[in-house]
Structure 1
């Protein structure tokens, strides 16, 4: 882990159709993320928010089946440039969302600095749709596919290279809601997925041990993309696409503790906090707790 950390907010709500997730970065900051990390002796530079332009019409469908394509692509280009710039300085980028479409920009900026980037996708969903397979046209269900080079060229070619990630370097943890096209892609690419079935049977400790050792052997850095809807909505209600039967806060803490001990992370993002749907900022507070654990907070 690096001692210099750059916090980047992305108030993006255009990758889906429920308002409020654009306030996620503010909610996480309000819950004390900077103070939590400073207490762990990190030097924090909060770079504010990446600007997100609004479409002329409400939730415009552009280029066939992609909602708000132009605005999502522009914001992710800006995010990618900023992440790239901060990593060039040797700073650890911590990106706060916003909906999960922002991972397109995060991964574009991060992968430039790695020959073989690994990704832990901690999420109820695979986010492996494209315009051809998506039931909704919401780009927040597409960022992992885009990063693999699958999807609209305005998204796949951000920072002028594609793909950002190899499918064999991705580990999905917590999946329990996959569309048919996503299942086909996972099988076709032979991707590593630990669904709730595997987590229930094996336990989080074994899942994380396997994921960490698998990525350690074949990658030169790992990006964590954590969607708060990976957790059960009983514990994390402030998310736009809740799916019952999810991970517990305790299981997630264990996962973050093990990642902290592994020292393989080189970048991270926490996304999909929607304070409008939340209960007294509970989900943002939970995000800050997980961030604290991820960066070395311990009871003893």
Structure 2
């Protein structure tokens, strides 16, 4: 794992309806992420939080909420992530809602010939303006990164697509819209729903994921939405779905990724302190980061 980490906070809460997730980066810092990673002998550069435009009073653009502001915020994130990778640092992005993955992937993908993505999430985030029931852009970043959707989003970074469908693995899915299901089948995207996790076990799911991506990619980005975990373990998220991945399963997944040493960038998103219990979800995020970056009991 790259020993130089740049922390990038993205206080974005415009990709969905519930306020508060903009305080996620602060909550994660408060939970001790810098101290935790320094103990593991990483050099940490905290770049602070990028500026997110205030929401205007514009009408919805093609049914997409806050399209202009989400686009502008992700353009800024793209530039910072690009600069971070350019100087040889590991970009660790702190969200913020999951719409920020648009900028993360746009900044990273230009440095990879074949970028792999592990999407650790209860949702597929494969909607477009045509299929989304809500118009919330945090349900669209994976589709956008495939080049599907509004050009204000797909053309961030001035190229599209950022990723190929065969280089994606979704882990923990349990809430998919009809349009997403059709797209998954059409594109042949690899998805481990909770049915597969329960049936196969997390060890096999991660072994298969790691081997699959090792064989076909040169970089792997981890996009971890805290709602991938069960709400009992991560209550402070905007769109909780019961029956999720356990705290222990998630630690195992991160430990296996650390051992495989394939992750070259990561983001942890959807921590909402307003909906949380004594900053529990932010603490879980930091615990999982510890495991991802090589923390061990012995």
Question: TM-score if structure 2 supplies the norm length?
Answer: 0.99
C-alpha distance in 2 between matches for 1:159 and 1:203: 38
1:92 matched residue in structure 2: 90
Q: In the TM superposition, what are the counterparts of 1:286-297 in structure 2 within 5 Å? A: 286-297=284-295
Aligned residue pairs: how many?
298
2:38 matched residue in structure 1: 38
C-alpha distance in 2 between matches for 1:186 and 1:107: 19
Q: In the TM superposition, what are the counterparts of 1:173-188 in structure 2 within 5 Å? A: 173-188=171-186
Asked if structure 2 preserves the Cα contact closer than 8 Å seen for 1:31 and 1:285, the reply is yes
Q: Shift in Å at residue 61 of structure 1?
A: 4.7
1:273 matched residue in structure 2: 271
> Where do 4+ consecutive residues of structure 1 move more than 3 Å?
none
Question: Structure 2 residue aligned with 1:133, among 128, 131, 134?
Answer: 131
C-alpha distance in 2 between matches for 1:2 and 1:287: 20
SS in 2 for 1:292: helix
Q: Shift in Å at residue 248 of structure 1?
A: 0.2
Unaligned runs of 5+ in 1: none
C-alpha distance in 2 between matches for 1:295 and 1:259: 9
SS in 2 for 1:12: coil
Change (3 A) 1:171 1:61: farther
2:68 matched residue in structure 1: 70
129-138 or 62-71, which deviates more: 62-71
1:161 matched residue in structure 2: 159
C-alpha distance in 1 between matches for 2:216 and 2:12: 32
Q: Deviations over 1:218-265 (max 9, x none)?
A: 000100000000000011100000000000000000000000001111
1:151 matched residue in structure 2: 149
2:105 matched residue in structure 1: 107
C-alpha distance in 2 between matches for 1:245 and 1:215: 27
Change (3 A) 1:61 1:208: farther
Pair 1:214-2:212 in alignment: yes
C-alpha distance in 2 between matches for 1:55 and 1:102: 16
C-alpha distance in 1 between matches for 2:174 and 2:63: 24
1:53 matched residue in structure 2: 53
C-alpha distance in 2 between matches for 1:49 and 1:122: 23
C-alpha distance in 2 between matches for 1:219 and 1:56: 40
1:3 matched residue in structure 2: 3
SS in 2 for 1:225: strand
Question: TM-score if structure 1 supplies the norm length?
Answer: 0.99
C-alpha distance in 2 between matches for 1:22 and 1:170: 27
Asked if structure 2 preserves the Cα contact closer than 8 Å seen for 1:83 and 1:106, the reply is yes
Q: Shift in Å at residue 62 of structure 1?
A: 2.5
Asked if structure 2 preserves the Cα contact closer than 8 Å seen for 1:4 and 1:92, the reply is yes
SS in 2 for 1:154: helix
Q: Shift in Å at residue 55 of structure 1?
A: 1.6
Q: Shift in Å at residue 56 of structure 1?
A: 2.4
Question: Structure 2 residue aligned with 1:170, among 152, 162, 168?
Answer: 168
Asked if structure 2 preserves the Cα contact closer than 8 Å seen for 1:108 and 1:147, the reply is yes
C-alpha distance in 2 between matches for 1:91 and 1:168: 27
Unaligned runs of 5+ in 2: none
Q: Deviations over 1:59-81 (max 9, x none)?
A: x5532210000000000000000
